Amino acid sequence: MKNPFVFGKVVAGENFVNRHEEITLLQNHFNHQIHTILISPRRWGKTSLVLQACQTMPNTKQFRFCYLDLFGVRSEQEFYQKFASEIIRKTATKWQEIGSWLKNFFRHLKPKISIGNQENEWSLDFEVSDNQHIEEVLNLPEKIAQKKNLKMVVCLDEFQNIDSFTETTSFQKLLRSYWQHHQKVSYCFLGSKRSMMSQIFEKQKMPFFKFGQVLHLNRIATEHWIEFLQKSFQATQKTISPTQALQIAEIAQNHPYYVQQIAFWVWLETDKIVQNDALEKAIKHVIAQNEPFYEQIVENLSHSQIQLLKAIVQQEKQLSSQETIKKYHLGTSALVVKNQRILQEKEIIFSEKKQYRFEDPLLEKWFSWKFVL
């Protein structure tokens, strides 16, 4: 029988847990052309959520959804090509239409179509120099939406990546200068590096300041996980007790990826009824799999950063108080602040309810076994 738990892939349908409020909110934004900025640590379910909101949109016929993953996009040029290709791919219904749009909407840039190896795989190829005629690319969704009398949702995933472009601020300025006039398109920006997303959307002097509503995604609550775990075991002729389901959610700290991953191994370990040692085995297994990666993370940290992580594991609240600094040998309070910033940029810790926590609950567990206990 197929393992009902999925991790590392976008989840949908049966595998998608709760998030009803977030879906309704996003759909309202899409309907009313409110731009959205969705931020959370990695693997909390941003991509799955946005795609689910698009797929379950009630009046879907009036909409076109365009999703772009900017992971690995390294330059403005690459962005423009990917953007234009995706917009056309999701809106044109026939080759003929593509041909006529290329002719009408790209009078200057004159893209060529390059065909890939797989069926229906193609992309647009054009050169942009000094941002001349960039309007042809950046206004494309609005022009197509107007022409076809549609609404469009353009999702830009891993948007924090644009921060690595050489001229990022002027690039952002350019995007905003066109997109702010769009009437029929709502933009949804997804990103994980909190510090970078804040830099782009929450700094007054930055072009995208107040461009849309910022949503910080929360964890999925325990009761939803318990229900999901019990239901998924049951549907595959296995049984997990509510206490065991609760334990999975707790160990994973309700982190969606890890709840699914641990449940995956518990399921494999189980014939009919989950045994109490199955959970421990699953955790050891996941940690063992990740250990080389965890070791590498720690190898790249300084002594004072490791000390700071120890204080975080021990749930110290006042990291830069003299008492904590002395207890953990954290150096100076300026060094604590600097290390907090570095550990956040490396996506090792993040701040939740005014407290620093590990992003990865199993890294935390492994770290406390190795360094604290």
Ligand X SMILES: Nc1ncnc2c1ncn2[C@@H]1O[C@H](COP(=O)(O)OP(=O)(O)O)[C@@H](O)[C@H]1O
Contacts to Mg ion by CB under 5 A: 47
> Between 27 and 66, how does the x/- string for binding to ligand X read (CB under 6 A)?
-------------x-xxxxxxx------------------
Q: Identify the burial level of 213 via C-beta atoms within 10 angstroms of its C-beta, where 0-12 means exposed, 13-18 middle and 19 or more buried.
A: middle
Nearest approach in angstroms of CB 191 to Mg ion is 9
Nearest approach in angstroms of CB 335 to Mg ion is 33
| Residue in the shown chain whose Cβ atom is closest to Mg ion | 47
Nearer to ligand X, 269 or 347 (CB): 347
CA dihedral 139, 143, 145, 147 (to 10 degrees): 180
Nearest approach in angstroms of CB 136 to ligand X is 31
| Residue in the shown chain whose Cβ atom is closest to ligand X | 45
Nearest approach in angstroms of CB 258 to ligand X is 8
Interacting partner of 16 out of ligand X, Mg ion, none (Cβ under 5 to 8 A depending on kind): ligand X
Using the structure block, give the residue that is written with the tokens 């609550």: 221
Nearest approach in angstroms of CB 160 to ligand X is 12
> Between 2 and 21, how does the x/- string for binding to ligand X read (CB under 6 A)?
----xxxxxx---xxx-x--
Q: How far apart are CA 260 and CA 249, in angstroms?
A: 9
**Helix 276-299 vs helix 242-251: crossing angle, to nearest 10:** 0
Is residue 194 part of the contact set for ligand X (CB under 6 A)? no
**What is the sign, positive or negative, of the torsion defined by CA atoms of 296, 298, 301, 303?**
negative
Q: How far apart are CA 94 and CA 83, in angstroms?
A: 19
Residue 67: name the closest of 48, 87, 49, 81 by CA.
87
Number of Cα atoms under 13 Å in the Cβ half of residue 69? 7
Q: How far apart are CA 6 and CA 3, in angstroms?
A: 8
> Between 219 and 258, how does the x/- string for binding to ligand X read (CB under 6 A)?
-------------------------------------xx-
Where does this chain bind ligand X (CB under 6 A)?
Answer: 6-11, 15-17, 19, 40, 42-48, 256-257, 260
